[in-house]
Structure 1
Amino acid sequence: MVHLPHLLCLLGVVAAGYEPTWKSLDTRPLPAWYDGAKIGIFLHWGVFSVPSFGSEWFWQLWQGANKSQYVDFMKKNYRPDFTYQDFAPQFTAEFFNPDEWSWIFGSSGARYVVLTSKHHEGFTNWPSRYSWNWNAMDVGPKRDLLGDLAKAIRTNTPEIHFGLYHSMYEWFNPLYLQDKDNNFQTNNFVREKTIPELYELVMKYQPEVIWSDGDWEIEDWYWNSTKFLAWLFNDSPVKDTVVVNDRWGRGIPCHHGSFYTCQDRYNPGVLQPHKWENCMTLDRGSWGYRRNAPLFDYLTIHELITTLAQTISCGGNLLVNAGPTHDGRIPPIMEERLRQLGSWLDINGDAVYDSTPWVHQNDTVTPGVWFTKKADTVYAMVLSWPKGDKLTLGTVQPTPETHITMLGYKNNAINKNSLKMKRVKSGIQVVFPPMSDVKSQWAWVLAMSGVTPTVRTSPAPTVMSWITAP
């Protein structure tokens, strides 16, 4: 049932503040907390976590695209009349401990969490009044998964901001399919499902991130995106702190939003003119949990830290996805990666949190060195220990005031002595201390003061080019 006052509030003309146009909405400043946070955790969790085969697109690939591997999987393992809805009672979440999840996230060093409230399958992880008998309270877990996690995070880890993913469309919803058959000249699905759900989520759970998706089949005018966002930024309970991504209609990604995601695993490798986010997965092949994922498909901790260094050096945030199991566990290998990341950040977080991009993003002489800046300190994140313990940097020039230390080097706390260095033809050479005297693993961070950037002698890379993830 659609409540008329809600829709009037959401879809009516905005009286003051931001207007329901991208030109107006794009003038809203980015809330400072988001840029300083740098690292978030993404959680893809739903009915698709039950078959946990292939990917979170299981239902569509099975009965929409009729992909042979999914059809064969169902024929071999389930009775002939088994439906996707039959998976829902098996989405039990009996081991879901939201306090334990919050402690894992706190240990990871993340500063925000984005939980899937509803994926393209339409199942809601909260007791939505707009998803009768297809939500986590009516079937399966029989609890408000979203609300329980939000409460635990806000209670146990107040440094973490709570956010939500929400799919605007649903693969097999009759209202959406009817609108699609009408060439989207009707929008009954949006009026009766998408917008009421978004309003319900904001008013009940007050998320500080709304990560929209499932928008790509039609432009934003169908979704009433700008009208919802105008309400969100003007009148909602999170109007001063909420951030949104760029997936609000076909043609909108990489053009409008608090931050841009552009495409999954977007990692441009060069500085961007607008705040952006690299949403990526610990499992290379899926956002949801896969029982059949081989070890090779999981990122190593070095690969994860490499991605982090590349991302924040170019002005982005890193959103690291984990896929919980149907019974409510964070898979141990994913938990290990998150805790390893946190242990690295405990030592090297000064180079990450509240940092800004430097003049140069990476070094011109030594590959695998990425830079950030905070106040008068330039940080060099070195992804490989240099041969012979000597690192040459081509983008850094020393001055008489140059002072270089390594984060996690035990002598730092004793006398604050600089590492040995000298000027060389290509820039500066830094002598690393014995590895056994350094706490950090996987990557090492130099903190440099009193240095100047080398003047670039070649044109900067194209701004919107990007590296394609494997």
Structure 2
Amino acid sequence: MLLLLLLLLVAAAQAVALAPRRFTPDWQSLDSRPLPSWFDEAKFGVFVHWGVFSVPAWGSEWFWWHWQGDRMPAYQRFMTENYPPGFSYADFAPQFTARFFHPDQWAELFQAAGAKYVVLTTKHHEGFTNWPSPVSWNWNSKDVGPHRDLVGELGAAVRKRNIRYGLYHSLLVWFHPLYLLDKKNGFKTQHFVRAKTMPELYDLVNSYKPDLIWSDGEWECPDTYWNSTSFLAWLYNDSPVKDEVIVNDRWGQNCSCHHGGYYNCQDKYKPQSLPDHKWEMCTSMDRASWGYRKDMTMSTIAKENEIIEELVQTVSLGGNYLLNIGPTKDGLIVPIFQERLLAVGKWLQINGEAIYASKPWRVQSEKNKTVVWYTTKNATVYATFLYWPENGIVNLKSPKTTSATKITMLGLEGDLSWTQDPLEGVLISLPQLPPTVLPVEFAWTLKLTKVN
């Protein structure tokens, strides 16, 4: 009898040990959840801002707010000059047709760009949902405009190509009557959260099973208003994506850079030293807007080398790089955006070994004439230098060579010759080739094995 009791106690202890950990709805518990490994390994993603704001396509995706919230004169004038009196923001929605949206073409482009995850705006601050939300009657992509489930279609296309799928979701909606009522009540009531925000978040998770939830629109209210911790506890414990899902840090006032999954901190965040928490730099190819603009000019579009340099720096400092494009109201990705994405993909085909699944090295950079950024993987060190030296010699002070050290350049055959100088460090002789023969046009990667 005693033996049976002991066996039962051992079995019970084993069952408890094997049971999945449960998270409680508080930041101390939620912040302790380890990030699923896929996100840190992915490194590069594409962000897509698409909605009714793509119809006026002027100024920025904050068009409605600048027109009728801030009442900025330039936006007032734009409407007066281009639309009849009485034209409302809702009148833009039927023109959001997505007529030329072919999700497989988008997904092929994102795959060719080397993206390992894609994040789509399911609902921006205007409140229009790109899926048939049950609590957004006649203000969703199934009822008006495209008459299609844009979230579902793109998700199916990217997942066919083994690309992870993330959903951007704005907690607030600028002009929603219930949100304005809660605001009037000092956010002591939660009519909007219960009727709109939370039903939509649960619906998105259950319907589309996202790999990532990119939260935004949190800044006016504390996380207690949004019920963020209760949602995240359900997401981590009981949702259909509990083991793989990743979230960011925008879940309420003062959460950014402090609570959640990985940190965005702020748009276009670029730390100058290695942070102690996983982070992501989100930035836009059009430096002046996240949504498509008809008045966009080349001067505001990031150059190929600028994008790749940002990617290299971000990854060296332990971050992921999320690069945004804004499609047109018809569902087209304009050629200049395609060209930039394909350029990133071409660079990653050669240098992806130094990017994907890499880790920050003990030294992240050397700010010499060539500007070097380091990563490491499986005891190999990668040094990506941004500027080709005039004398054809790269000097690296941080790596300590051994008698077995080998140095190569990604994309080229053969070892490079090098010497160890007591003052200058490792002096690496680059191949004497014309620029057209080099594997890439900028940001060349040296692979160093058997170094310390």
Q: Find the partner of 1:244 among 233, 247, 256.
A: 247
Match of 2:37 in 1: 32
Match of 2:428 in 1: 430
Structure 1 residue ranges (4+ consecutive) displaced by more than 4 angstroms after TM superposition: none
Matched, 1:161 2:159: no
- CA deviation map 1:113-134 (0-9, x unaligned): 0000000000000010110000
Shift of 1:258: 1.3
In the aligned structure 1, how far is the partner of 2:56 from the partner of 2:439?
41
Say whether the 8 Å CA contact 1:153–1:162 is kept in structure 2: yes
Letter in 1 for 2:37: A
Match of 1:299 in 2: 302
Say whether the 8 Å CA contact 2:369–2:387 is kept in structure 1: no
SS of the residue aligned with 2:400?
strand
Q: Which moved more, 1:356-365 or 1:227-236?
A: 356-365
How do residues 343-422 of structure 1 correspond to structure 2 at under 5 angstroms?
343-409=346-412, 411-412=413-414, 417-422=415-420
Aligned residues: 431
Q: Structure 1's 365 and 16: CA in aligned 2 closer, same or farther, altered over 3 A?
A: closer
Match of 1:275 in 2: 278
Residue ranges of structure 2 left out of the alignment (5+ in a row): 1-19
Shift of 1:422: 3.7
Q: Which moved more, 1:435-444 or 1:18-27?
A: 435-444
Say whether the 8 Å CA contact 1:208–1:241 is kept in structure 2: yes
Match of 2:59 in 1: 54
Q: Find the partner of 1:64 among 69, 76, 80.
A: 69
- CA deviation map 1:26-75 (0-9, x unaligned): 11111000000000110000000001100000000000001111111111
In the aligned structure 2, how far is the partner of 1:365 from the partner of 1:396?
15
In the aligned structure 1, how far is the partner of 2:393 from the partner of 2:357?
29
Matched, 1:94 2:114: no
SS of the residue aligned with 1:306?
helix
Report the identity percentage: 54
- CA deviation map 1:165-203 (0-9, x unaligned): 000000000000000000011001001100000000000
SS of the residue aligned with 1:261?
coil
In the aligned structure 2, how far is the partner of 1:103 from the partner of 1:418?
36
SS of the residue aligned with 1:396?
coil
Q: Structure 1's 302 and 364: CA in aligned 2 closer, same or farther, altered over 3 A?
A: closer
Q: Find the partner of 2:130 among 125, 131, 155.
A: 125
Match of 1:467 in 2: none
Q: Find the partner of 1:326 among 320, 324, 329.
A: 329
How do residues 143-292 of structure 1 correspond to structure 2 at under 5 angstroms?
143-155=148-160, 157-158=161-162, 160-292=163-295
Shift of 1:269: 2.5
Matched, 1:312 2:315: yes
Please give the TM-score of this superposition, normalised by the length of structure 1: 0.90
Q: Structure 1's 370 and 312: CA in aligned 2 closer, same or farther, altered over 3 A?
A: same
Say whether the 8 Å CA contact 1:216–1:250 is kept in structure 2: yes
In the aligned structure 1, how far is the partner of 2:302 from the partner of 2:371?
17
Q: Structure 1's 16 and 439: CA in aligned 2 closer, same or farther, altered over 3 A?
A: closer
Say whether the 8 Å CA contact 1:253–1:260 is kept in structure 2: yes
In the aligned structure 2, how far is the partner of 1:22 from the partner of 1:253?
12
Please give the TM-score of this superposition, normalised by the length of structure 2: 0.94
Say whether the 8 Å CA contact 1:378–1:449 is kept in structure 2: yes
Say whether the 8 Å CA contact 1:246–1:258 is kept in structure 2: yes
SS of the residue aligned with 1:63?
helix
Let me know the Cα RMSD of the aligned residues.
1.2
Match of 2:12 in 1: none
Match of 2:114 in 1: 109
- CA deviation map 1:102-145 (0-9, x unaligned): 00000000100000000000000001011000000000001001
Say whether the 8 Å CA contact 2:418–2:426 is kept in structure 1: no
In the aligned structure 2, how far is the partner of 1:276 from the partner of 1:329?
30
Shift of 1:441: 2.1
SS of the residue aligned with 1:135?
coil
Say whether the 8 Å CA contact 1:405–1:446 is kept in structure 2: yes
Match of 2:11 in 1: none
Say whether the 8 Å CA contact 1:360–1:395 is kept in structure 2: yes
Task: Decide which structure has the larger Cα Rg and report it.
Answer: 2
